[in-house]
Amino acid sequence: MANQIPEDNDTSASMDRSYHDICAKETTCTFPDKLNHESSPFLGINSSVISSHILPPEMINPCSSVSNTHYSNFRPGQTVSNSTSVLEMHGNDAQVVFDPSMWQISANYPSMSQCTEGDANLTARQVDAFTNLSPATVPCSGEISGERRGNSLRKYVDLYIAALKGDWAMAKEFLQAHPEALNARITRGSETALHIAAAARNASFVEELVTLMTPNDLALQNTVGNTALCFAAASGIISIAAPMVNKNRKLPLIRGSNGALPLYMAALLGHKDMVWYLYKTTDREDLTRQDRIMLLIAAITSNLFDVALDVIQRYPELALDRDENGDTALHVLARKPSAFLSGSQLGIFERCIYSCPDSYQGSATGKDPKIPRYSILRLKVIYCKKAMQTQALELVRQLWHQVLLEDDLAIGALIRFPSRLLFIAAELGIVEFVIVLIQSYPDLIWKVDDKCRSIFHIAVEYRQEKIFNLIYEIGAIKDLIAARKDEHNTNLLHLAAKLAPPNRLNIDSGAALQLRRELLWFKEVEKIVQPLYKQMKDSNGRTPGMLFTEEHKGLVCEGEKWMKDTASSCMVVATLITTVMFAAAFTVPGGDNDVTGSPIFLSHLSFLVFAISDALALFSSATSILMFLSIVTSRYAEEDFLDSLPNRLILGLATLFISIATMMVSFCATIFIVLGRGFAWVALPLVLLAGIPVTLFAMLQFPLFVDMLSHTYRSSSLFRPRSRLLF
């Protein structure tokens, strides 16, 4: 394509923000003086009552750092975070309900895309933003103040408890005695019984209550503006929402706190079935453009890619729209490595399933995938995960297709602000995302960040081998990109010499394997840079080799200690086995013939098994001792961790396992020789017990052994994949 993107290394680069930015600034509120503190029984979706008694665990904010706080200890003038469930306090003479004007709240609530991958999908700020921080959109009718208000609320305690417990018989009896309670505000937060029953997930109670209420009753809002349908959307149970919507078709369009629709609340909380239900029952023509982009971003953040696909297919112009943080849908996807295959750690079984042809439908069309009925639970989870990742990739394609319809200036602005789209994906190793963008716009290969680094420099720095392997598919361009230096005169080999980020370093178990992977990276990058660059010094006067030694000094010490400790422990076991097996060779079971000196049971098969297994145990344990001894006495240079030490440890562990197994076989053969066939009922249980040590050793050491084999003999597949991915 002939289109050109404006050069990236301009002053606007300073506006970039990485995905590691803090999700939001802490905001505080100040308690007025002379308050007796009493928590409100109910005000918003995330009030203390709901959090502790009503809402299920998945609806309680996982990211909040404040929970179960005892507010009775707060003093006048003390401040708390806005994510705290401080909903109401009252004084001696008057009730005081916290108004949003008393909170120092920033209007810019962060999108979940700014959280790191290790964070939970929902942040405290987002849930609070649409629950208890907005002014009521509908005033309470017939509101009573002071003691009269308190007495009025206490009148409905029985109805409150019935709604909370789902006891319809108790509620029906109360409503017969107090008909006005059907639509009365029974909490300080102005919730009705329907609000509480919906939040408590009492579907049958809600259904009975709705039959008695009018459509206008269903539209009643609490202090922060939430209808009962908002609570139902937050619960995620369709059977709670359906009776309300069937009776009042306008309910899905009544906005809750902060102007959020129930559909958005359900999407924000990741309730897939509820989102699809509300998506179909909400009149989409009445949705504003802001509603649509918020729904799209929330669906992507909550991994509801089928919903996001349907939204973008209906409204393709949303591909260029930004949320309140300036993020487009592509920016949010670029920060979600778990939504793609390259960001998933798959086991052998999962890789086999992924390699099978797709046996579900609708994965790339926005429809819910149809999982085969014969699927077992684990298989179904894998199929769903594969379908989700297929949908995410298709979403990237459709979004990028819409972006490419714009002119170069618009494309350049989109991929650079508020953060550099391509470099975020490269940093997180989302190779599928990078491939989709570059295949349709090859000029992106040449783009650099504000430090004059290409995506391949980023891949080396953050140890993303799948991104780095694309450099082998661009021919001679590879040499030009590898020759780039940043503002500190740091070349590609300098970046490989630096210590990997902790999240990439911890992929391998043990310091020795971590150092080996670091050496593999350094050696691989060394092959593609010019010979002159191997001795080039950075702004601090360090060559790549000097920098590698300096950065990995601690890792070398840890690797040496780990190797010596492992070898010493295993060598003790191998020595004991050698001693026992050597003695057993001269202590023949059953004794010798006094005349010939030959073993009495020489002609028995069990004696032959004893002799062979004893010899194998002796030889293998002796070999194991030599291997572990060579590890303990090694010089432990950096190069030794590449092949020498791992190979010795692998051979030592293998021979040690063989010696333990053959030793137990020798023991079992001796039992059969001594007891004979007449006591087989005694010998068989003993033989079974003999398998326990072998099994335990295999269970404890097998993971380490597999890791060593994988890293030592499969390292050639780490770089230069067999198939081409880019062009």
CA nearest to 655, candidates 564, 559, 570: 570
Average pLDDT over residues 195-221: 96
Q: For the chain, what are the domain ranges?
A: 23-129, 288-450, 469-551, 563-717
Tokens of 701: 């050491």
Residue 683 backbone phi and psi in degrees, to 5? -70, -40
The pLDDT score that the predictor gives to residue 436 is 95
Is residue 455 predicted with pLDDT exceeding 70?
A: yes
The pLDDT score that the predictor gives to residue 725 is 79
Give the position of tokens 């179960």. 68
Average pLDDT over residues 3-27: 38
Residue 81 backbone phi and psi in degrees, to 5? -70, 150
How many CB atoms lie under 10 A from the CB of residue 440?
A: 15
Separation between Cα atoms, residue 564 and residue 481, nearest integer Å: 42
The pLDDT score that the predictor gives to residue 131 is 44
Give the position of tokens 């918003």. 44
Tokens of 633: 């006495």
CA 229 to the chain's CA centroid? 30
Average pLDDT over residues 523-540: 92
Across the chain, mean pLDDT equals 77
The pLDDT score that the predictor gives to residue 57 is 38
Task: Determine which of 63-67, 230-234, 641-645 has the lowest per-residue pLDDT on average.
Answer: 63-67
Average pLDDT over residues 78-94: 32
Tokens of 447: 């783009």
Task: Determine which of 73-77, 402-406, 425-429, 515-519 has the lowest per-residue pLDDT on average.
Answer: 73-77
Pure H helices in 441-552: 455-461, 465-468, 477-482, 492-497, 502-505, 511-528, 544-551
Is residue 80 predicted with pLDDT exceeding 60?
A: no
CA nearest to 516, candidates 429, 638, 637, 632: 638
The pLDDT score that the predictor gives to residue 127 is 45
Residue, of 490 and 589, whose pLDDT is higher: 490
Average pLDDT over residues 334-345: 88
Q: What is the DSSP letter of 41?
A: S
CB 265 within 8 A of CB 175: no
Separation between Cα atoms, residue 205 and residue 207, nearest integer Å: 5
The pLDDT score that the predictor gives to residue 678 is 64
Q: What is the pLDDT of residues 92-119, one digit of tens each?
A: 332 322 233 322 323 333 333 333 443 4
CB 614 within 8 A of CB 582: no
From residue 603, alpha-carbon distances to 480, 598, 668, 680 in Å are 76, 10, 17, 19
Q: What is the pLDDT of residues 380-432, one digit of tens each?
A: 778 888 889 999 999 999 999 999 999 988 998 998 888 889 999 999 999 99
Separation between Cα atoms, residue 121 and residue 362, nearest integer Å: 25
Helices and strands per DSSP (H, E), number in the chain: 31, 4
* Percent of the chain predicted with pLDDT > 90: 50
Q: Which class for 471: exposed (0-12), middle (13-18), buried (19 or more C-beta within 10 A)?
A: buried
Tokens of 375: 């699927």
CB 102 within 8 A of CB 17: no
Q: What is the pLDDT of residues 624-638, one digit of tens each?
A: 999 999 999 999 999
The pLDDT score that the predictor gives to residue 37 is 35
Q: What is the pLDDT of residues 166-196, one digit of tens each?
A: 999 999 999 999 999 999 999 999 999 999 9
* CA atoms within a 13 Å half-sphere pointing along the CA-CB vector of 257: 26
**Sequence-distant contacts of 152-155: CB under 8 A, at least 24 apart:** 153/41, 153/186, 153/187, 153/188
The pLDDT score that the predictor gives to residue 696 is 82
The pLDDT score that the predictor gives to residue 210 is 96
Give the position of tokens 């793609």. 340
Largest Cα–Cα distance in the chain? 116
Listed in sequence order, the residues at least 6 apart from 5 whose beta carbon sits closer than 8 Å to its beta carbon are: 408, 411, 412, 415, 441, 443, 444, 447
Task: Determine which of 19-28, 240-249, 287-296, 371-380 has the lowest per-residue pLDDT on average.
Answer: 19-28
The pLDDT score that the predictor gives to residue 691 is 77
pTM above 0.85, yes or no: no
Q: What is the pLDDT of residues 564-612, one digit of tens each?
A: 999 999 999 999 999 999 988 877 776 666 666 677 766 677 888 888 9
Is residue 319 predicted with pLDDT exceeding 90?
A: yes
